[in-house]
């Protein structure tokens, strides 16, 4: 490894607070623009607004309800976040949560920060009595799918279509059971 490559030497995971909304919004937009090129129409990526995302996150962090959001602080600044809540689809049994979001700045990819964030999120869900969690991932998001599979999630056969400006984009369901308190490997 060269001296300029990022490392995991200084990473802190903590619960997100309302003043984090602007940083989370910036991570959200930068991650979308880097991860979804060629998957989500470019016009949709170009229109993403940090201000609108900031408003969303300010509201969510001020009035979280059952949602929980964690941030990853790398070398003193927010480099990623993950959020959980109740599944939007009411067909899931009681005890099922949803990993709604996990995004990192591109420069923080593939150094283990995502693993720390998702472990914190699923650990929190297990501690709060949830027995399993589901998520949706764009089928063409190979990076995301490899990541989820590496940390113990499995495709559960659910498929749904999203509509981005009239372009249909498929997403797949994944699931993790917290058997015996396990929230996934490593
Ligand atoms: C998906 C994401 C959160 C993963 O976080 P990350 O910090 O990059 O992942 P980690 O470094 O913790 O990787 C953990 C394991 O996942 C697997 N993995 C992660 N990225 C991978 C990739 N690009 N290709 C193959 N396997 C990968 C590996 O097994 C890795 O372990 P290893 O590095 O020891 O081999 C991050 O890449 C990201 O923000 N991507 C863009 C946004 C996104 O797609 N979010 C998911 C939306 S549903």
> Which residue lies with its CA nearest to atom 16 of ligand 1?
147
Q: Which residue has the higher pLDDT, 3 or 63?
A: 63
Report the top-level CATH class of 8-181: alpha beta
CA 87 to chain centre: 14
Q: What is the spatial distance between Cα 70 and Cα 36, in angstroms, rounded to a whole number?
A: 22
**Which pLDDT belongs to residue 6?**
52
Q: How confident is the model at residue 89 (pLDDT cuts 50, 70, 90)?
A: confident
CA of 140 to the centre of ligand 1 (A): 14
Ligand 1 atom closest to 147 (CA): 16
pLDDT tens-digit profile of 14-64? 999 999 999 999 999 999 999 999 999 999 999 999 999 999 999 999 999
Report the residue among 110, 117, 184 best suited for mutation to probe ligand 1: largest number of ligand atoms under 8 A from its CB.
110
Q: How confident is the model at residue 179 (pLDDT cuts 50, 70, 90)?
A: confident
CA of 5 to the centre of ligand 1 (A): 16
Question: Taking Cα atoms as reference points, which of 125, 21, 22 lies closest to residue 67?
Answer: 125
Q: Which helix (H) or strand (E) element contains residue 156?
A: strand 154-164
173: β partners: 136
Domain limits, the chain: 8-181
Provide CB contacts within 8 A for 64, sequence distance 6+.
none
The stretches of 3-104 forming alpha helices (DSSP H) are: 21-35, 42-47, 50-62
**Which pLDDT belongs to residue 21?**
98
135: β partners: 174
pTM for the model stands at: 0.94
Q: Which long-range contacts (CB under 8 A, 24 or more apart) does 25-28 make?
A: 25/50, 25/51, 25/53, 25/54, 25/56, 25/57, 26/50, 27/78, 27/79, 27/80, 27/81, 27/103, 27/104, 27/105, 28/53, 28/57, 28/81, 28/101, 28/103
**Which pLDDT belongs to residue 1?**
41
CA of 142 to the centre of ligand 1 (A): 9
* Three-class DSSP category at 6: coil
**Which pLDDT belongs to residue 12?**
96
**Which pLDDT belongs to residue 90?**
86
pLDDT tens-digit profile of 97-144? 999 999 999 999 999 999 999 999 999 999 999 999 999 999 999 999
User: Are 101 and 135 spatial neighbours (Cβ–Cβ below 8 Å)?
Assistant: no
């Amino acid at each position: 490894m060269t001296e300029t490559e990022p490392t995991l030497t200084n990473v802190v995971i903590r619960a997100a607070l309302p003043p984090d909304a602007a940083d989370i919004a910036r991570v959200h937009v930068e991650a979308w623009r880097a991860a979804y090129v060629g998957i989500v129409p470019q016009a949709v990526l170009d229109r993403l607004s940090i201000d609108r995302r900031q408003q969303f996150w300010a509201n969510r962090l001020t009035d979280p309800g059952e949602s929980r959001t964690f941030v990853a602080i790398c070398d003193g600044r927010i480099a990623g976040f993950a959020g959980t809540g109740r599944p939007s689809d009411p067909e899931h049994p009681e005890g099922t949560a949803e990993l709604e979001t996990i995004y990192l700045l591109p420069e923080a990819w593939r150094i283990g920060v995502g693993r720390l964030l998702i472990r914190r999120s699923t650990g929190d869900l297990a501690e709060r009595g949830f027995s399993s969690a589901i998520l949706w991932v764009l089928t063409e998001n190979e990076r995301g799918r490899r990541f989820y599979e590496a940390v113990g999630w499995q495709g559960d056969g659910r498929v749904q279509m999203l509509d981005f400006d009239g372009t249909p984009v498929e997403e797949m369901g994944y699931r993790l059971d917290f058997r015996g308190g396990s929230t996934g490997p490593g």
